[in-house]
Amino acid sequence: MYTKELLAFITVAETGSFLKAAKKLYLTPASVMNQINKLEAQAGVKLLVRTNQGARLTEAGQIIYKAGTEIIRKTNRAYEKARQTAAAGQAAIKIGTSLLRPASLLLDLWRQAESGACLGIKIIPFDDEPQSMAQMLELLGTKIDCFAGPCDSLAWAKKYNICPLGRARCCIAVPRGHRLAQKELLTWDDLDGETILLVKQGESPVVDSLRAEIAALHPQINIADSGGFYDIEVFNSCWQNGYLMEVPELWANVHPSLVTVPVKWNYTLPYGIVYAKHPAPAVQKFVELVEAFVQRQKQ
């Protein structure tokens, strides 16, 4: 057991002097000597040889010293772990939520993955509008710890950590009343003569590949650029202009005037957790727990 007598004994053994040990422990030499005498009485053997030059360990003392230092090391480690657990229990993970990046995606996983972890959750709303989105990203790690959603952005991969959770089919959002709105599955032929809204070139490798295939093999399809991040105004514009719009399946039914229809192609977008490059320990723990749960589900 880690006691003040054991600590006094180890300090004397390491300093070789009752006086030096007393100064290190902020005690009087007499108090240190009393604690050593008490420990020797409990052990039933002499642990230190007192000399005019100081103190040295007996053979029995060497055994107690080795065991005692291990006890103190393990005890200190346990204290540190307890402090970390308490700190984690007090921490609240600030999850951003918006119409296109709902917190529900992460919360559903967290409810299943939690496994007794003491982490609080705080929901922080933000706007998908491009300027607001850019400001939110600059505050990632402070005002908001993380959010979940499509994460194919090359710019994001350079500036933030991304924890993949899965892939979502690329679909086409079609205005209600459009000739394709009643289709259960679209083909390339269905898209001939239509205008498809895509995120601008260079934003997404997956969408860039889709754009290249359209240009090379389906010139009858027109492409319109969204100009930046998708937000609700982009969906409004798509409906008002009668455009089609590439969207991940995660965004099905986001807009009441658009119908999301799958397409007979192999394009999928990755989605996952976006968080700061240097997250707080509680945030890193949260991400690791969710990631581990997702990996277990895939096995």
pLDDT tens for each residue of 110-153: 888 766 566 788 999 988 888 888 888 888 988 899 999 999 88
pLDDT in tens, 154-208: 888 889 999 999 999 999 999 999 999 999 999 999 999 999 999 988 889 999 9
Cα distances from 11 to residues 23, 27, 40, 52, 125, in angstroms, run 10, 12, 15, 18, 55
pLDDT at 84 over 80: no
What is the rounded CA–CA span in Å between residue 294 and residue 298? Answer: 6
DSSP string, 124-177: EE---SHHHHHHHHHTBTTTB-EEEEE---HHHHHHSEEEEEEEEEEEEEEETT
What is the model's pLDDT at position 116? Answer: 54
Average pLDDT over residues 31-41: 88
- Quick one: average pLDDT of 233-237? 90
Average pLDDT of the chain is 88
Give Dmax (Cα) for the chain.
103
Per-residue pLDDT averaged across 90-96, rounded? 82
CB contact set of 97 (below 8 Å; sequence gap of 6+): 103, 104, 123, 124, 125, 126, 147
- What is the pLDDT, as a whole number, of residue 243? 95
pTM summary value: 0.67
- Res. 277: pLDDT tops 80: yes
* Cα distance between residue 97 and residue 95, in whole Å: 7
Buried (b) or exposed (e) across 216-248, using 16+ Cβ within 10 A? eeeeebeeeebeebbbeebbeebbeeebbbbbb
**pLDDT (0 to 100) of residue 83:** 65
Asked if the model's pLDDT at residue 231 lies above 90, the reply is no
- Which run of H or E residues covers position 260? strand 258-262
Which pLDDT value is given to residue 259? 95
Q: Which pLDDT score is estimated for 120?
A: 82
User: Of the given ranges (175-179, 227-231, 248-252), which has the lowest mean pLDDT?
Assistant: 227-231
Instruction: Please give the Cα distance from 223 to 143 (Å, whole number).
Output: 37
Q: Among 17-26, 194-203, 226-235, 275-284, where is mean pLDDT lowest?
A: 226-235
